């Protein structure tokens, strides 16, 4: 089994790993709102790409309001299923058991 004869120095280790560093990300400016964006991506702030509105971007408050509306809507829309049992009187309950 191969065993190293000497300890690898810090310089040699750092030299070997020199190319593993992170590379700088190229950012461009959004033509609409001037925020920094990655190239060939829709702007996360305004939703524009190449001068056209591609996606609608909601603010946090709008998202929160939509979630509230959905929750309220589901409770009011919820209908009892056909299989649901009817309310039984005390006499009927005692007969069942």
- Structure confidence by residue, pLDDT tens digits, 67-79: 888 888 754 444 4
Position 16 confidence tier, pLDDT thresholds 50, 70, 90: very high
- Structure confidence by residue, pLDDT tens digits, 33-92: 999 999 999 888 888 898 888 888 777 778 888 888 888 875 444 444 554 455 656 666
Residue range of the domain that includes 52: 25-68
Higher pLDDT: 3 or 87? It is 3
In a domain, 12, yes or no: no
Geometric angle at alpha carbon 37, from 31 and 40, rounded to 5°: 80
In a domain, 57, yes or no: yes
Pairing mode, if any, of strands 52-53 and 48-49?
A: antiparallel
In a domain, 29, yes or no: yes
In a domain, 18, yes or no: no
């Amino acid at each position: 089994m191969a065993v190293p004869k000497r300890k690898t120095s810090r310089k040699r280790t750092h030299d070997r790993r020199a190319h593993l560093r992170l590379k700088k990300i190229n950012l461009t400016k959004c033509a609409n709102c001037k925020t920094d964006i990655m190239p060939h991506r829709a702007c996360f702030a305004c939703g524009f790409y190449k001068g056209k509105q591609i996606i609608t971007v909601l603010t946090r408050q709008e998202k929160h309001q939509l979630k509230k509306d959905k929750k309220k809507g589901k409770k009011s829309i919820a209908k009892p299923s056909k299989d649901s049992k009817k309310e039984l009187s005390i006499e009927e309950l005692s007969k069942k058991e």
